[in-house]
Amino acid sequence: MVFAKKKWGQNFLVDNNLLEKIINTVDLNNQSEVLEIGPGHGALSEKIALKTKNLTMVEIDIDLIQSIKQNLAISHFPLLNQDILKTNIKDIDISNPKVIGNIPYNITSPIIFWLIDNLPYWDESFLMVQKEVAQRLVAKSGTKEYSRITVMTSLYFDIKICFYISPNVFKPKPKVDSAFISIKKNNKYDINKIDTKKFSQVVRMAFNQRRKMLRNSLSSLNINHDKCSVDFQQRPEQLSIDQFVDISNNIIS
């Protein structure tokens, strides 16, 4: 057994009921293509392998690569020893996969932004994340959980919390509760008509000073206020996604 490495967020799943619950939620069939982030020793990969023959795994830790190579249930599947954040899905021999992972919690946001960067190349995603992060991802405007990551992801995704998970199903046990979430693309916004760089700049500036009114936190931007359906005396958590889009579309560059 390989010792769990903190730096790579290694908390391994050891509860068969939970693994079954995950696999039932993901709902795979024998045509499904799956990209698994961080297979670890393969607890979840083994369950995926019972459903489909199209599984590719990306694992950063060479010691765990050795462990998977000795696991006959999954050793025959493609296994890439690399950092998922430096991986482009389009470079992998896989077509429109479901991206599944009990991911390292310290890189949850980078993985979510990685999903945005790889947007055209995957179908849907299921991730295990820290409970509080999940609650931020699904937060409604006007709440304290509504934050930069809520707004950024809402432009692209519909995110749902499938269920919560106690620390007891992991070894070693994490200090936090977890949630299993589903991420589907919403296609609500025509991304080609939005300057996503400006959108992201507005959202970042607004939430960096979330107690300030927008007219102060965004004061360095040249915004055509008259064209925006936004009250700039409000604070960022009071704005809808459409209003953030509205502001970013009315920046005079």
Tokens 């304290």 -> residue: 144
Closest CA to 246 of 173, 155, 150: 155
- According to the binding rule CB under 6 A, does residue 64 interact with ligand SAM? yes
Binding of residue 83 to ligand SAM (CB under 6 A):
yes
Q: Which stretch binds ligand SAM (CB under 6 A): 5-13, 143-151, 190-198, 244-252?
A: 5-13
From 56-64, 131-139, 190-198, 218-226, span contacting ligand SAM (CB under 6 A): 56-64
Q: Which residues have CB under 8 Å from 62's CB, separation 6+?
A: 81
Binding-site size, ligand SAM (CB under 6 A)? 24
Query: Could you tell me which stretch among 52-60, 90-98, 130-138, 194-202 binds ligand SAM (CB under 6 A)?
Result: 52-60
Task: Give the residue with the Cβ less far from ligand SAM, 43 or 239.
Answer: 43
CB 82 within 8 A of CB 62: no
What tokens does 243 get?
């209003």
Q: Rule CB under 6 A: is residue 8 a binding residue for ligand SAM?
A: yes
C-beta neighbour count of 247 within 10 angstroms = 25
Q: Which residue has the tokens 């946001």?
A: 109
Which three-class secondary structure state does DSSP give residue 228?
Answer: coil
The neighbour count for residue 241, using CB atoms within 10 Å, is 19
Answer whether 105's CB lies under 8 Å from 9's CB.
Answer: yes
What is the 3-state composition of the chain as percent helix, strand, coil, each rounded to the nearest 5? 40, 20, 40
Rule CB under 6 A: say whether 11 interacts with ligand SAM.
Answer: yes
Q: Does 13 bind ligand SAM (CB under 6 A)?
A: yes
12 touches ligand SAM by CB under 6 A: yes
| Residue 67 touches ligand SAM, criterion: CB under 6 A | no
State the minimum distance, in angstroms, from the CB of residue 7 to ligand SAM: 8
The one segment of 57-65, 132-140, 161-169, 187-195 that binds ligand SAM by CB under 6 A: 57-65
Q: Which residues bind ligand SAM (CB under 6 A)?
A: 8-13, 37-40, 43-44, 58-61, 64, 83-85, 102-104, 107
